[in-house]
A and B are shown apart, each in its own frame.
Chain A
Amino acid sequence: MSNHPSDLEILLRNDDFVQWTLRPSAEGDARWEAWIGVDAERRVLVDRCRSAVLAVHAAESDIPADMLAGEIWEKMQGALRPKFRWMPYAAAAAVVLLLAGAGWWWMNGRPGGDGNMAMEAPAVVKGGNGEISAANNGAGLKTVLMVDGSRITLSPGAKVHFQSLPGPDARNVRLEGSAFFEVSPDPKRPFTVFAGKVVTRVLGTSFRISGGRSITVAVRSGKVSVSHAGDNSAWILLPNEQAVYDAGRNTMAKSVVINKTILENPVPPTPRFRFDETPAPVVIDELSGTYAVNIRYDRRLFEKCRITVSLEEGTFYDKLDVLCKVLGATYEIVNNEVRITGPGC
């Protein structure tokens, strides 16, 4: 068979060929290998057609659809209510959804903690719609903990923006400056950092992004994909690899991390969170104040409840869950705030 343009077009019109190219499978491989057989021209034709299909597919993908989908999902939650409201004792499935649901919490140096608090509190600004800005205006490192258990350690001058209690489909952070990220694995909710024109997407890993005129993304563990504005193709970075983006030339280069110290995070992991015969409002207010999440409850009902509990483990939602169980209360999340209801003591 000669490599004729019409052959090419016939192949591009073949359903099975296109679907095999876009969604490779062992059966497809077998079928098309059998068709190619020992015919060298067929092999060339198949290779060319495959790259043509993939080129068109890539060209059509040149739209930030995942980000748009995330934004639409957030906006949609109002219209889905009350069906999507969450009650902790309603159903186990609901609990799982919200735990997986990647809200954020954050934790800062809590005065009265037990001294394990080397990190300082970043300056927090609560915007509308549950958006939070956290800035490190000091000279040391400052750490932001998120509801999903992820941590961001801000270098001096760095700033991050995100939803304090976002929806269940994505974890998005906007970064100015330099920060170290330790991301909890959650394949269903990609964690995406937008830094200038550089977009870094991860499924659970630790890495550093240093911002400025040039932006560096360096990976300590896991796998990270990096892309920049105007180019939807993503680079995959593995541990000890880095991508350096040059804002002036709008180009990106990949290399090995030479200065390994940028991949160390000197901030110790988890702060203590233990209570002994503590009035419930104190505990709730600690949670609320420390994690920049509004928690609404009837203070009169709960002020007589005294709690002895250790809330060191788990995500923000785990802690909330334990607290509510201890109080015999329930909580729900409405309009970017947590509402606790129960009979009190």
Chain B
Amino acid sequence: MSLQDNTPPAPDPGWEAFRKGDRDAFAQLYDEHAPPLIVYGIRVSGDEGLVRDVIQDLFVEIWRSRANLQSPGSVRGYLLKALRYKLMRKAAVRLLYADSLPEQADTTNPESIILEHESEIIRRQLIRRAIDRLPKRQQEMINLRFYQGLSTEEAASVMSVNYQSAANLLHRAVSQLREMLGPGALALIVIYRAG
């Protein structure tokens, strides 16, 4: 089961227009990327107020320094990385990450969640809570991977780790999430039916 990763996308024409000072392109860039960046920021920091400030800083900064910016292979990856860098400069966020070491999930209460009869809303909340219980870096990997749709390589770049570390992190995150949600959670991330 080995399929090649997609090749990185070609330079984004919207990004080029924005770099030349096109405000419309900047507004589009914002519309396209700000919401997922907010989702990621809240996943990483858990602090909506902080994310508001940092997102604003980030976009004001890239607008002001647009002429000096490079053309990233992936605009989303570039922005995620910049956002992460800003978040990690906040002591409170660093502390969250320090607490999450070593990377073991909190397995003290590995309740098995049977979801077969639950509604979509409850199901979603349960998945969210399961992700919340993962170590911080694994939460981040889940978001980058299954929400932002980044490749393992792009996720590695955002998190400033090498490819192998990112692959290992992803492996652990997927396994632990599957374990936490339990074999009874048929319709869920664990769609595997024993037998």
List chain A positions with a Cβ less than 8 A from chain B: 3-5, 7-19, 22-23, 31, 35, 48-49, 51-53, 55-63, 65-66, 68-69, 71-73, 75-76, 79-80, 83-84, 93-94, 96-97, 168-169, 188, 230-233
Contacts and interface: CB of A to CB of B under 8 A. Distances in A.
A161 B43 CA distance: 31
Main secondary structure of the interface of A (DSSP, over half): helix
Contacts of A69: 30-31, 34-35, 38, 55
Contacts of B100: none
Given A55-B123, A59-B127, 16 more contacts: A9-B175, A13-B171, A14-B1, A17-B3, A52-B188, A55-B187, A62-B128, A69-B31, A69-B55, A72-B59, A73-B34, A75-B56, A76-B60, A79-B56, A80-B60, A230-B121
Interface of B: 1, 3-6, 21-24, 27-28, 30-31, 34-36, 38-39, 42-43, 48, 51-52, 55-56, 59-60, 63, 120-121, 123-125, 127-128, 131, 142-143, 145-147, 149, 151-153, 167, 170-171, 174-175, 177-178, 187-193
Contact of A19 (B6, B131, B190): B6
Contacts of A71: 52
Nearest to A58: B124
The 3 closest A-B pairs by CB, nearest first: A48-B191, A65-B35, A59-B127
B27 A169 contact: yes
Contact of A35 (B3, B63, B175, B191): B3
A5 B178 contact: yes
30 contacts: A10-B1, A17-B3, A18-B146, A19-B6, A35-B3, A48-B192, A52-B188, A53-B146, A56-B147, A56-B177, A56-B189, A58-B124, A59-B124, A60-B43, A61-B39, A61-B147, A63-B39, A68-B35, A69-B55, A71-B52, A72-B34, A75-B56, A80-B60, A80-B63, A83-B23, A84-B23, A93-B24, A97-B23, A169-B30, A233-B124
B114 to A, nearest CB: 15
Contact of B4 (A16, A72, A169): A16
A233 B177 CA distance: 22
Nearest to B189: A52
A66 B35 contact: yes
Contacts of A65: 34-36, 38-39
Most buried by A among B5, B23, B51, B131: B23
Most buried by A among B30, B38, B143, B146: B146
Contacts of B151: 15, 19
A83 B27 CA distance: 13
Contacts of B6: 15-16, 19
B22 to A, nearest CB: 7
Contact of A57 (B147, B175, B193): B147
B152 A76 contact: no
Contacts of B43: 60
A66 B55 CA distance: 13
B40 to A, nearest CB: 9
A19 B149 contact: yes
Nearest to A76: B56
A13 B42 contact: no
A231 B121 contact: yes
Contacts of A9: 171, 174-175, 178
A188 B31 contact: yes
B31 A169 contact: yes
A262 to B, nearest CB: 28
A49 B190 CA distance: 8
A8 B171 contact: no
Given A13-B174, A60-B142, A188-B28, A23 B39 contact: no
Nearest to B27: A168
Contact of A18 (B23, B149, B178, B193): B149
